[in-house]
Amino acid sequence: MKRGLAILNIYFEVFRKYHFLLQDLVARDFKLKYRRSILGFLWSILNPLLMMLVITAVFSNMFKSDIQYFPVYYLCGYLIFNFVVEATNGALTSIVQSGYLIKKVYIPKYIFPLEKTTFALVNVVFSFAAVLLVILITKMPIQPTILLIPIPVFYAFVFSTGLGLILASCNTFFRDTGHLYSVWTTAWMYLTPLFYPLESIPESIQKFIFYNPLYYFVTLLRELVIEGRMPDPAMHLTCICFSLLFLLVGLFIFKRSQDRFILYI
Amino acid sequence: MTYAVEVNNVSMHFNMNKDKIDNLKEYCIKLLKRQLFFEDFTALQNISFTINRGDVFGIIGLNGSGKSTLLKIISGILKPSAGSVTVAGTVAPLIELGAGFDADLTARENIFLNGSVLGFSRDFMRQKFEEIVEFSELEEFIDVPIKNFSSGMVARIGFSVATIVKPDILICDEILSVGDYKFQEKCEKRIQELMSDQTTVILVSHSIEQIERMCNRILWLERGCIKAIGGREIIPLYQPDFEGRDS
Ligand SMILES: Nc1ncnc2c1ncn2[C@@H]1O[C@H](COP(=O)(O)OP(=O)(O)O)[C@@H](O)[C@H]1O
Ligand SMILES: [Mg+2]
């Protein structure tokens, strides 16, 4: 027990030493992403808005009777889904991309996938301005529970970090992980009720969706934003279990394989 | 007396497949055809030695003899396949100057980024910023993106940042050969300053003259094994036609 605490303490000290690097790398990504675009970081808000317009134009008639406040319903799902995909995609290539650093200085390697998920987190925070905007425009009643938005986002962040660690390890040894994963994210998008209500699909497929962590994150967010309802503890517990499970598996795989990364980059 | 660096029976093996397999398809094909041979390459074999505190320890050997690999193991970048390394104190590895520089960022941004790569805090870097810039003598170019710099200029900044703290152990892998002669002299002076401060220095250089001038102990590696270890007297064995100071 005492030894366990001592080890945790060392990890914490190392993290404290390198959290400036984490900040600097996020800042660098931010600068590089927006340096050459005129609208700058407004794109983080504009992009979901435009997506929402397109999807609303296409789908809202189809599910009109089932879904109240379709634009907000869709945006909530889209933001969480997009956040997870961006975070994990960034993490996936992070180790290979940082090879030039890993080969020359000692840095705790988890910093790199963590940096990418943190960068996606910063972006999603801006994107929530889009949700507010659409709520105001569509005259949807504002729920006080909207203040709890950070909770589902945090669950999704922990989940993405875990999944990102797994993907980063795999991709270092097998470069086609990225291709497989991009196929998977397409399927994943349809397996997450983003622009359709869960009830509208056959029960045989619904069963699969209950294994999809994103379904819970998205539903939690919608309950907070649209329905103004405090989600029940079982919902939180499900989210926490999924997030922690992925984080622990991710840490385990990453820790087991990190010493061999340098031989493959 | 405790050692600054203790290298214990270290070996390093690399898998040298003929063609590097890094995708699933190739892996499966090779696995099915039973062609998954890994050619084991031994870059270092049973290396043991110690370095005392305050030593200036030179490592010599031909290209490919494992010098860089050994330095990377000592600085924790590579994990040895077998054996262990104990290092007492902080290490500043100058394996390649400007590691982690981003070509699109300016020199100023890169100085801070490089500082955090080396684990320095933001406040510390702010305090030392002037000193770093002054040492690198690149004041006029401080807001220019690094991609417009020559490699010598990049090396100047890298060296300035890396030596801003007095590390317990300084590791230099052939870095003193970059930059113009004036800056080389300046770097050497900096290293000498650090040395007088009980810093242990590990130096790889192709300039035998430099090794002989600066080092008090020398390790000679040949194809991953220790060929000789000792004082300056092993230099004539390594390079018989070398005209040293005392000869
Ligand atoms: N990541 C690696 N994968 C495979 N072989 C490597 C790797 N790094 C170094 N080697 C091999 O190890 C040997 C020693 O290399 P190195 O330590 O760079 O030599 P030196 O610095 O003395 O010139 C070389 O033959 C090189 O090919
Ligand atoms: Mg070398």
What is the model's pLDDT at position B180?
Answer: 78
C-alpha angle A108-A112-A113 in degrees, rounded to nearest 5: 120
Instruction: Decide whether any atom of ligand 1 lies within 6 Å of the B224 Cβ.
Output: no
pLDDT at A65: 62
Q: Give the tens place of pLDDT for each residue, B91-139.
A: 888 887 766 788 888 999 899 988 888 888 899 999 999 999 999 888 8
**ipTM associated with this complex:** 0.82
What's the A264 CA to ligand 1 centre distance in angstroms? 14
Tens digit of each residue's pLDDT (9 = 90 or more) over A27-47: 988 888 877 777 777 877 888
Residue B119's pLDDT is 86
Nearest bound ligand to the CA of residue A264: 1
Contact B24 A174 (CB under 8 A): yes
At B34 the pLDDT is 65
If one compares A1 and B133, the residue with the highest pLDDT of the two is B133
C-alpha to C-alpha distance for B83 and A35, rounded to whole angstroms: 47
Cα(first)–Cα(last) distance of chain B, in Å? Answer: 33
The response to whether residue A57 sits with its C-beta less than 6 Å from ligand 1 reads no
pLDDT at A225 over 70: yes
pLDDT confidence bin for B247, thresholds 50/70/90: very low
Residue A64: band (very low, low, confident or very high) from pLDDT cuts 50, 70, 90 = low
CB-based contact, A64 to chain B, within 8 Å: no
Percent of chain B with pLDDT over 90: 34
Q: Which residue of B14, B15, B20, B77 sits with most ligand 1 atoms within 8 Å of its CB, as the best mutation to test the pocket? A: B14
Q: Is the pLDDT of residue A94 over 50?
A: yes
Query: pLDDT per residue over A143-183, tens digit each?
Result: 899 999 999 999 999 999 999 999 999 999 988 999 999 99
- Phi and psi for B86 in degrees, rounded to 5? -115, 130
List C-alpha distances in Å: B156 to A96, B21, B235.
27, 37, 30
User: Per-domain residue ranges for chain A?
Assistant: 2-263
User: A189 C-alpha vs ligand 1 centroid, how far in Å?
Assistant: 45
Query: How do B169-173 and B91-94 pair as beta strands?
Result: parallel
Atom of ligand 1 nearest to the CA of B67: 22
pLDDT higher at B63 or B22: B63
DSSP string across A51-115: HHHHHHHHHTTTTTTT-TTHHHHHHHHHHHHHHHHHHHHHHHHHHHHTHHHHTTS---TTHHHHH
What's the pLDDT score for residue B225?
93
Q: What's the B112 CA to ligand 2 centre distance in angstroms? A: 27
Give the list of residues 6+ apart from residue B44 with CB closer than 8 angstroms, or none.
Answer: B10, B11, B12, B66, B69, B70, B73, B80, B224
Confidence bin at B199 (pLDDT 50/70/90): confident
Closest ligand 1 atom number to CA of residue B69: 17
CB of residue B68 inside a 6 A radius of ligand 1: yes
- The pTM assigned to this predicted structure is 0.88
> B22–A21: do the CB atoms touch at under 8 Å?
no
Most confident segment among A29-38, A215-224, B28-37: A215-224
Bridge partners, B91 (sequence order):
B169
CB nearest A175 (choices: B22, B76, B115): B22
Residue pLDDT, tens place only, B136-173: 888 899 999 988 888 888 888 888 888 888 888 988 88
Q: The tokens of A155 are what?
A: 């669950």
- Whether A98 contacts B77, CB under 8 Å: no
Question: For residue A88, how far is its CA from the centre of ligand 1 (angstroms)?
Answer: 33
Tokens of A198: 């869960």
The finding on whether B20 has its CB within 6 A of some atom of ligand 1 is no
pLDDT the model gives residue A39: 72
